[in-house]
Amino acid sequence: MRGYALQRLALGAVQLALLTVLVFLLTSLLPGDAADVRNNEDATPEQVAALREQLRLDRPALERFTDWAQGVLTGDLGTSLVSGGPVLDILAESAGITLVLAAVTLVVVVPLAVLLGIVSGLREGGRLDRSVTSVTLALNAVPDFVLALLLVAGLSLQLGWLPATWVGVGAADLLGQPALLVLPVGVVAARMICLLSRQVRAGMVTVLKAEYVTQARRLGVPRRTLLLRHVLPNAAVPGIQELARVGDNLVGGVLIVEAVFAIPGVATALVRAVEARDVPTVQGLALVVAAAALLFSLAADLVCHRLVPRTEVLR
Amino acid sequence: MTSKTPSQTPLVTVRGLTARAGDTMLLDAVGFDLYEGRVTALVGPSGSGKTTAALALLGECGAGVRLSGRVEAGSVRVVDGDGITKEAAGGLRGRLVAYMPQHPGSALNPARRTGAVLAELARLHHPADPARALAAEALRAAQLPAGRDTERRFPHQFSGGQRQRVALAQTLVCRPRVLVLDEPSTGLDTVTRMRLAGELAALARTGLAILLLSHDHDLVRALADHVVVLRHGRVTAQGAPADALPARRRVTAVRHTPTAPDGRPPVLDVQDLSAHLHSRGRGPVLHGVGLQLPAGACVGVAGLSGSGKTTLARCVAGLHERHVGQVLLDGTPLPVLRRRSPEQKRRVQYVWQEVRSSFDERRPVAEQVARTAVRLRGLDAGEARREALDLLGRLGLDAGTVERRPGGLSGGELQRAALARAVLAAPDVLVCDEITTALDTGATAAVLAELARLRDQHGTALLWVSHDLELLAAVAHHIVVIDGGHVVETGTPEQILDAPRATLTRQLVRAMDLGTALTATDLATAPSVSGA
- For every residue of B363-402, DSSP letters joined together read S-HHHHHHHHHHHHH---HHHHHHHHHHHHHHTT--HHHH
Query: Whose CA is closest to B244, among B388, B40, B6?
Result: B40
More confidently predicted of A310 and A118: A118
Closest CB to B108: pick one of A212, A229, A309: A212
Q: Report the pLDDT value the prediction gives residue B531, as an integer from 0 to 100.
A: 37
* A139-153, B62-76, B243-257: least confidently modelled range: B243-257
Which band of pLDDT confidence, cut at 50, 70 and 90, is reported for residue B2? very low
Chain A closest-CA separation from residue B199 CA (Å): 21
Q: Report the pLDDT value the prediction gives residue B8, as an integer from 0 to 100.
A: 78
* A148-152, B373-377, B428-432: least confidently modelled range: A148-152
Which band of pLDDT confidence, cut at 50, 70 and 90, is reported for residue B315? very high
More confidently predicted of B1 and A215: A215
Q: How many contacts does A have with B, using Cβ atoms within 8 A?
A: 72
* Mean of all residue pLDDT scores within chain B: 84
Tell me the mean pLDDT in the region A147-161. 81
Residues 389-408 of B with CB under 8 A from A: none
Q: Report the pLDDT value the prediction gives residue B260, as an integer from 0 to 100.
A: 45
Tell me the mean pLDDT in the region B50-76. 86
Within 8 A by CB and 6+ apart from A199, the residues are: A117, A238, A239, A241, A242
Residue B208 has pLDDT above 80, yes or no: yes
Which of A207, A208, A213, A219 to mutate: most B Cβ within 10 Å?
Answer: A219
Residue A171 has pLDDT above 80, yes or no: no
Which band of pLDDT confidence, cut at 50, 70 and 90, is reported for residue A284? confident
Q: Do A221 and B121 touch (CB under 8 A)?
A: yes
ipTM of predicted assembly, 2 dp: 0.73
Residues 153-212 of B with CB under 8 A from A: 154, 156, 167, 170-171, 174
Q: Do B99 and A218 touch (CB under 8 A)?
A: yes
Tell me the mean pLDDT in the region B240-269. 66
Q: Report the percent of chain A where pLDDT is more than 70.
A: 88
Max avg pLDDT among A2-6, A92-96, B335-339: B335-339
Q: Do B109 and A221 touch (CB under 8 A)?
A: no
More confidently predicted of B128 and B523: B128
Contact of B65 with B21, CB cutoff 8 Å: yes
Tell me the mean pLDDT in the region B57-77. 86
More confidently predicted of B283 and B213: B213
Tell me the mean pLDDT in the region A93-100. 83
Q: Do A220 and B111 touch (CB under 8 A)?
A: no
Tell me the mean pLDDT in the region A145-169. 77
Chain B closest-CA separation from residue A211 CA (Å): 5
Q: Report the percent of chain B where pLDDT is more than 70.
A: 91
Within 8 A by CB and 6+ apart from B523, the residues are: B194, B197, B198, B517
Q: Report the percent of chain A where pLDDT is more than 90.
A: 10
Q: Report the pLDDT value the prediction gives residue B428, as an integer from 0 to 100.
A: 94
Q: Do A215 and B174 touch (CB under 8 A)?
A: no
Chain B closest-CA separation from residue A247 CA (Å): 25
B109 in A contact zone (CB under 8 Å): yes
pLDDT in tens, B486-501: 999 999 988 888 888 9
> Counting beta carbons within 10 angstroms of the beta carbon of residue B215, is it exposed (0 to 12), middle (13 to 18) or buried (19 or more)?
buried
Which of A209, A215, A315 to mutate: most B Cβ within 10 Å?
Answer: A215
Tell me the mean pLDDT in the region B62-80. 85
Tell me the mean pLDDT in the region B518-529. 41
> CA B211, CA B181: separation in Å to the nearest integer?
6
Which band of pLDDT confidence, cut at 50, 70 and 90, is reported for residue A257? confident
Residue B369 has pLDDT above 90, yes or no: yes
Q: What residues in A contact B95, CB-CB < 8 Å?
A: 220
The CA-based dihedral angle spanning residues A43, A44, A45, A51, taken in that order and rounded to the nearest 10 degrees? -50
Q: Report the pLDDT value the prediction gives residue B248, as an integer from 0 to 100.
A: 66
Q: Do B94 and A219 touch (CB under 8 A)?
A: yes
pLDDT in tens, A212-251: 898 998 998 888 889 888 998 888 888 888 888 888 878 7
**Rg value, chain B, Cα:** 25
Q: Report the pLDDT value the prediction gives residue B470, as an integer from 0 to 100.
A: 84
Which band of pLDDT confidence, cut at 50, 70 and 90, is reported for residue A36? low
Q: Report the pLDDT value the prediction gives residue B250, as an integer from 0 to 100.
A: 58
> CA B40, CA B57: separation in Å to the nearest integer?
14
> CA B481, CA B69: separation in Å to the nearest integer?
52
Q: Report the pLDDT value the prediction gives residue A143, as an integer from 0 to 100.
A: 83
Residue B6 has pLDDT above 70, yes or no: no
Q: pTM for the full model?
A: 0.71
> CA B471, CA B464: separation in Å to the nearest integer?
10
Contact of A150 with A187, CB cutoff 8 Å: no
For the beta carbon of residue A91, count every other beta carbon within 10 angstroms: 19
Q: Residue B178: what are its φ and ψ, rounded to 5°? A: -125, 130
Q: Report the pLDDT value the prediction gives residue A315, as an integer from 0 to 100.
A: 35
Q: Report the pLDDT value the prediction gives residue B94, as an integer from 0 to 100.
A: 85
Tell me the mean pLDDT in the region B416-431. 94
Residue B348 has pLDDT above 80, yes or no: yes
Tell me the mean pLDDT in the region B340-368. 90
* A156-170, A209-223, B247-261: least confidently modelled range: B247-261
End-to-end CA separation in angstroms for chain A: 17
Q: Report the pLDDT value the prediction gives residue A139, as an integer from 0 to 100.
A: 85
Residue B358 has pLDDT above 70, yes or no: yes
Query: Whose CA is closest to A107, among A188, A163, A202, A204?
Result: A188
> Counting beta carbons within 10 angstroms of the beta carbon of residue B485, is it exposed (0 to 12), middle (13 to 18) or buried (19 or more)?
buried
Chain B closest-CA separation from residue A220 CA (Å): 5
Q: Report the pLDDT value the prediction gives residue B361, as an integer from 0 to 100.
A: 86
